[in-house]
Amino acid sequence: MKPDVEIYDTTLRDGSQGEGINFSVMDKLRIAEKLDAFGVHYIEGGWPGSNPKDIEFFAQAKTKKFKHARLAAFGSTRRKNTAVEADEQVRLLLEAETPVVTIYGKTWLLHVKEVLRTTPEENLAMIADTIRHLKAHGKFVIYDAEHCFDGYKSDPEYAVATWQAAEKAGVDMVVLCDTNGGCLPEEVARITQAARSKLKVRLGIHTHDDIGLGVANALAALETGATHVQGTINGYGERTGNCNLTSVIPNIALKLKKSCVPVASLPKLKELSQFVDEIANIRHSPRQPWVGSAAFSHKGGTHVNAVQKLAASYEHIDPTVVGNRRTVLISDLAGRSNIVMKAQELGFDITNETPELKTILNRIKDLEHKGYEFEAAEGSLALLIRRALKHEEPPFRVEGYETTVRRDRAISICQATIKVLVNGEAAHTVAEGDGPVNALDSALRAALIRFYPQVKKIQLTDYKVRILDSATGTGARTRVLIESTDGHEEWGTVGVNDNLIEASLGALVDSMEYGLLER
């Protein structure tokens, strides 16, 4: 069935213009395949006339079969005072051989006169000529009315004339663009209604997020006449970004109650968001609405207590609907319910009546006061809970260690010596490394490996240092967070101390101990 709202993805074109975003041709092809599988209706591949990468992308895309999406090439109207048949950029749009071509043109007289340096009449001709030429070649043509809202506010009569020029030329859709991203939802709604009253052709909306209202403005247009929305995955784009499709899509489906992507795709939304971030080599933002790891996280004790009784009390939807999950955070704000839910999430059999619960809570609050943070250190938290519940000896103890740094012909050589005790048996090892922490890590592994061969599988994947009280200078207290994996599971551990080496060792010991436990 035809959806109520069509989704047009421009991650590969508009999104790639964002700071720090640089897709290869293969990156773009992989993202396009993922978007097609997810069920978007249009994928804008790029501008064939702008760079060799986009030309190559369209050449390779010709060999691909898309099941759901139609591929679009993007470009502009013909140049001023140039026959459309002689415009090379328009020729390249046709040579891309995409079923859809999207072009933009000027709505705002300020741009017509000061940027294009042409007449209002010539601008209308540029719009109409280009659309007629593309339609004559059998293309589905989308017209992006650039600076549409600013142009309408400046001169409503001329703005409407540009839209009607596109419609009379046979365009399939007119998309209203808040190119500067500075409009308010009320303005977008009012001008979209005005466009609806003046045009018979379908309307779309294209917004930017310069004042944080990209998604709100898109929804305002969809509620007042638009049936097509353009945006990017995770809101990539120039300046502060484009309308975020990972927010718009669930808002359309779950809040406006309108159909867009297939219902079966919604639970894959978080996966899609993370996939595109991974391809772009950007760390996934935990604060993304709907799909971020913090979107359904609960920290305050009263909130967690309520969620434990009734999830809907502090969650606007079931997080699994968009492929996310509930997370209970542990901090000095935690209550008993936080501990119970988090412990159960980590696999412990614990209830509000467990005798050790108060001890665990007090221990966590005391450590948090000293600078520990367990939100990203679930491995250390699990060990803390386990020690309180099981009262068992750890698999090993560090009896002592020493680190040294010496200079040899302008080269620093770092060495660590460590002594560990395993079941009453001591192991004493020495190792060198690319710094005192790396040397200590190597020495600890060498000491443990004769007792626990599985240590070979445990690898550190990240190491972060945070200064907690910088006013004390080099004597500041330090928090170290370590992320580790055994190839199957990932976990974080934390150490805090005035001594960076001691803080690092604390996190390293927890990392090894957690990795050695049967879970």
283-305 pLDDT, tens digit per residue, is 888 899 999 987 877 766 666 66
| Contact residues for 349 (Cβ-Cβ < 8 A; gap 6+) | none
Q: How far is it, in rounded angstroms, from Cα 28 to Cα 200? A: 35
Measured between alpha carbons, how far is residue 417 from residues 20, 96, 429, 442 in Å? 42, 64, 6, 10
Q: Which residue has the higher pLDDT, 125 or 338?
A: 125
pLDDT for the residue 330:
61
pLDDT tens-digit series, residues 464-480:
898 887 666 767 789 99
pLDDT at 249 over 60: yes
Mean pLDDT of the residues in the chain: 91
pLDDT at 91 over 90: yes
- CA nearest to 131, candidates 108, 101, 158, 176: 101
What interhelical angle do 88-95 and 120-136 show, nearest 10? Answer: 30
Burial class (CB in 10 A: 0-12, 13-18, 19+), 136: exposed
> In the chain, where are the structural domains located?
6-280, 297-369, 397-516
Instruction: Using CA atoms of 251, 255, 258, 264 in order, give the dihedral in degrees to the nearest 10.
Output: 70
Strand runs labelled E in 153-212: 173-178, 202-207
pLDDT at 332 over 60: no
Which CATH architecture does the domain made up of 6-280 adopt?
Answer: Alpha-Beta Barrel (3.20)
Q: How far is it, in rounded angstroms, from Cα 360 to Cα 384? A: 7
pLDDT at 15 over 60: yes
SS3 content of the chain, % helix, strand, coil (to 5): 45, 20, 35
pLDDT for the residue 368:
82
H or E stretch covering 491: strand 490-497
Here the tokens at position 181 are: 């991203």
Which CATH architecture does the domain made up of 397-516 adopt?
Answer: 2-Layer Sandwich (3.30)
Q: How far is it, in rounded angstroms, from Cα 355 to Cα 360? A: 10
Do domains 6-280 and 397-516 share one topology? The answer is no
Amino acid at position 335, single letter: G
- Give the position of tokens 């859809």: 100
pLDDT for the residue 117:
95
In terms of DSSP H, where are the helices of 239-283? 245-250, 269-280
Specify whether the CB–CB gap between 280 and 236 falls below 8 A: yes
pLDDT for the residue 93:
95
For 178, how many CA atoms within 13 A lie in the half-sphere containing its CB?
33
- CA nearest to 14, candidates 312, 237, 206: 237
Q: How many CB atoms lie within 10 A of CB 405?
A: 11
Q: How far is it, in rounded angstroms, from Cα 234 to Cα 253? A: 17
**Is the pTM of the predicted complex or chain greater than 0.85?**
no
> What percentage of the chain exceeds 70 in pLDDT?
95
- CA nearest to 162, candidates 189, 116, 198: 198
- CA nearest to 401, candidates 438, 433, 432, 428: 428
pLDDT band at residue 328, thresholds of 50, 70 and 90?
A: low
Averaged pLDDT, 414-429: 93
pLDDT for the residue 417:
95
Q: How far is it, in rounded angstroms, from Cα 81 to Cα 118? A: 9
Beta bridge partner(s), residue 21: none
